[in-house]
């Protein structure tokens, strides 16, 4: 194998707009390589400029096709776009078949577009563990808009709300019972609804059902339970910031032909402007960084805990307790002292 490219070279390249450096930096972050933290640290000062857009919704609703249409629409006005497309990892093999890109061809000669597929690996909530970091890298590389397509989502896949400025929830007609199809969790995090495949019959019914749910707020009032635990949505605050002055639009789109895509882009841009005016941007970014901080601290503390609670040490402490040479509280304090190292 060839020698890996030095970290500093990747950082400099990424900030200069070198696409191979960006691609390799994303891999380092994704692989949790030794220099992953260093890369993110080095580029962090250059982030905060891109508008981060999440595209989520049930499997097969047309998210990738819609992302491709949005890329085209943004590029027509010279806006650059970075894309992160997340697909599931097979729990059996650890491998993944990343197929979103199939729907996003036709932008390859364009230096203003960068599309990266990402396997969920051990991530949760519809995103990969490294999605947030990869978004920072795309931001630092200078893309004006960063679009993130989640895995086909159900009501528990709402992690996107903690990492995006604007969340577009994609629905499609004919997914069975409309009300069933519109998952409570997704309803709660949507800033914009796109009813895609509007060329099919039933689109108007889906739009009406969504509008009715938004009016009554019935779904939004339901807490989201995942494996029996109440979930931290990180977007619960949408009650506070989406409530005032932003009324959630429900738009029909036909991603395959580009129908309604300009309107969708306009809605995203209106939401962006609204975030700027209302102070919502700062609030969301604050929440995002707080979420990242929590995640990093939790991961580090867990890793230290695992080390501190090594079976050998535990065995030793248990023995001491059994011999009444130490009490459980002192034993615990002993372990906790080791955590800070």
Partner 1 sequence: MKQSQIRVLIAKPGLDGHDRGAKVIARALRDAGFEVIYTGIRQTPQMIAAAALQEDVDVVGLSILSGAHMTLCPKVVELLHAQGQEDVLVLLGGIIPDEDAAQLKAAGVHAVFGPGTTSAEIISFIRNAMAG
Ligand X SMILES: Nc1nc2c(ncn2[C@@H]2O[C@H](COP(=O)(O)OP(=O)(O)OP(=O)(O)O)[C@@H](O)[C@H]2O)c(=O)[nH]1
**Interaction partner, residue 61 (ligand X, Mg ion, partner 1, none; CB < 5-8 Å by kind):** ligand X
- The distance of closest approach from Cβ of residue 226 to ligand X in the complex, given in angstroms and rounded to an integer, is 19
Q: Is 2 in the site for partner 1 (CB under 8 A)?
A: yes
Of 109, 176, 228, 311, the one binding partner 1 by CB under 8 A = 109
Contact at 8 Å (CB) between 120 and 127? yes
- The dihedral of CA 114, 119, 124, 128: what is its sign? negative
| Alpha carbon distance 313, 318 (integer Å) | 9
Of 46, 75, 112, 117, the one binding partner 1 by CB under 8 A = 117
**Interaction partner, residue 311 (partner 1, ligand X, Mg ion, none; CB < 5-8 Å by kind):** none
Which 3 state secondary structure label does DSSP give 51? strand
Q: Is 119 in the site for partner 1 (CB under 8 A)?
A: yes
Of 103, 116, 271, 288, the one binding ligand X by CB under 6 A = 103
Q: Is 105 in the site for partner 1 (CB under 8 A)?
A: yes
Question: Binders of ligand X among 55-74, rule CB under 6 A?
Answer: 59-65
Q: Is 64 in the site for Mg ion (CB under 5 A)?
A: yes
Q: Is 100 in the site for Mg ion (CB under 5 A)?
A: yes
| Alpha carbon distance 120, 197 (integer Å) | 26
Q: Which two tokens stand for residue 5?
A: 């490219």
- The distance of closest approach from Cβ of residue 74 to partner 1 in the complex, given in angstroms and rounded to an integer, is 17
**Interaction partner, residue 255 (partner 1, Mg ion, ligand X, none; CB < 5-8 Å by kind):** ligand X
- Closer Cβ to ligand X, 200 or 337, answer by number: 200
Q: Which two tokens stand for residue 205?
A: 């019914």
Which 3 state secondary structure label does DSSP give 271? helix
| Alpha carbon distance 53, 166 (integer Å) | 5
| Alpha carbon distance 64, 150 (integer Å) | 10
| Alpha carbon distance 145, 74 (integer Å) | 9
Q: Is 255 in the site for ligand X (CB under 6 A)?
A: yes
H helix or E strand, kind and range, residue 239: helix 238-241
Residues near ligand X (CB under 6 A) are 59-65, 100, 103, 152, 196-197, 199-200, 254-256
């Amino acid at each position: 194998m060839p020698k890996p490219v030095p970290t500093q070279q990747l950082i400099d390249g990424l900030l200069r707009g070198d696409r191979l450096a960006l691609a390799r930096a994303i891999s380092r972050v994704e692989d949790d390589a030794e220099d992953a933290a260093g890369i993110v640290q080095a580029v962090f000062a250059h982030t905060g400029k891109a508008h981060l857009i999440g595209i989520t919704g049930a499997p097969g609703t047309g998210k990738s096709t819609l992302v491709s249409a949005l890329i085209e629409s943004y590029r027509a006005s010279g806006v650059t776009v970075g894309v992160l497309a997340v697909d599931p990892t097979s729990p059996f093999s650890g491998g993944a078949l990343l197929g979103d890109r199939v729907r996003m061809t036709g932008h390859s000669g364009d230096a203003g577009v960068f599309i990266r597929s990402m396997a969920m690996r051990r991530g949760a909530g519809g995103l990969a563990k490294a999605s947030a970091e990869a978004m920072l890298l795309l931001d630092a590389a200078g893309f004006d808009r960063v679009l993130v397509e989640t895995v086909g989502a159900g009501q528990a896949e709402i992690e996107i709300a903690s990492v995006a400025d604007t969340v577009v929830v994609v629905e499609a007609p004919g997914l069975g019972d409309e009300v069933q199809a519109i998952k409570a969790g997704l309803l709660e995090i949507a800033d914009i609804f796109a009813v895609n495949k509007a060329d099919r019959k039933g689109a108007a019914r889906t739009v009406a059902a969504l509008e009715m749910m938004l009016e009554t707020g019935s779904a939004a009032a339901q807490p989201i339970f995942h494996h029996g635990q109440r979930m931290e949505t990180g977007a619960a605050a949408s009650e506070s910031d989406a409530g005032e002055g932003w009324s959630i639009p429900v738009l029909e789109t036909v991603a395959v032909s580009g129908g309604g895509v300009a309107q969708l882009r306009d809605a995203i841009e209106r939401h962006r402007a609204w975030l700027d005016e209302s102070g919502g941007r700062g609030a969301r970014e604050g929440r995002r960084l707080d979420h990242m901080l929590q995640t990093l601290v939790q991961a580090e503390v867990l890793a230290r805990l695992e080390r501190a609670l090594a079976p050998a040490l535990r065995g030793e402490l248990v023995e001491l307790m059994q011999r009444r040479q130490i009490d459980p509280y002192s034993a615990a304090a002993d372990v906790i002292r080791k955590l800070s190292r």
